[in-house]
Amino acid sequence: MSRRRVQRPSLLRFREPEVARVRELLGEMVGRRVVVVGDATLDAYVVGEVERISPEAPVPVLAVEREEFMLGGAANVAKCLVALGAQARLCTVIGDDADGAIFRSEATNLGIAQAGILSDRERLTTRETRIVARHQQVIRLDRETVAPLSAALEKRLRARIASAVRAADAVILSDYAKGVLTPAVCRAVIAAAGSRPVLVDPKSLPWEPFRGATVLKPNLREAESFAGRLLASSDDASRAALAMAAELGVGHVLITRGQA
């Protein structure tokens, strides 16, 4: 198996990309085969109007007009890849439940390959339900299992990943701290990828399992957690990215300025 050669990190200044170049790069996604591994969710939206307060408690009463379902988490990454014209294959674990059936139906409708999607009776399909009144989110209800995968389930997932990666041009690890990206799964992905690029959107520390990846993309808050200090300026963020790349042995680090 070939080994990925990680370049020595160097400090680069951000430059605003040219729109034409961005469009050119996005156009090159057409036909690319990308494997997405990570925590997938089913995003539900219960939408309606609030015109009165409940007589039982000081809470609004939502008159439901419609309910919508969308793929979220790592599945949203796969959905975006399909929108760019790529061939996306999703490797994840969902529950063997009604929400899991809806999840698979949505994936089928979008053309996302499902051979890497495993169902487990011991886990819930992660469902994030947003209650929306007149375009304003009132509350979000989360139904999920966040425990790490069992050893048997982890072994099955690693086998599916190895099969999927053999035909891939690139791999994305999408971490939402729901238990799918165990250290063993992360290491298996990076090993199976060989010389293929591996891009990581990390969540909770530690990030040692991502060692050897091509690109690590934390947001500002996550980068500050790794650095153990506030990154108040672009120079602070650049130096933190350089230290992160060196410590984790990754080729590139991109810190986004968002907090979430």
Distance of alpha carbon 105 from alpha carbon 181, whole angstroms: 24
Distance of alpha carbon 16 from alpha carbon 213, whole angstroms: 25
pLDDT for position 7: 54
pLDDT for position 17: 82
Query: Which residues of the chain are under the pLDDT cut of 50?
Result: 1-2
**Strand arrangement, sheet containing 60-73:** 60-73, 40-53, 127-133, 136-143
pLDDT for position 204: 86
pLDDT for position 13: 64
pLDDT for position 125: 98
pLDDT for position 2: 45
pLDDT for position 1: 41
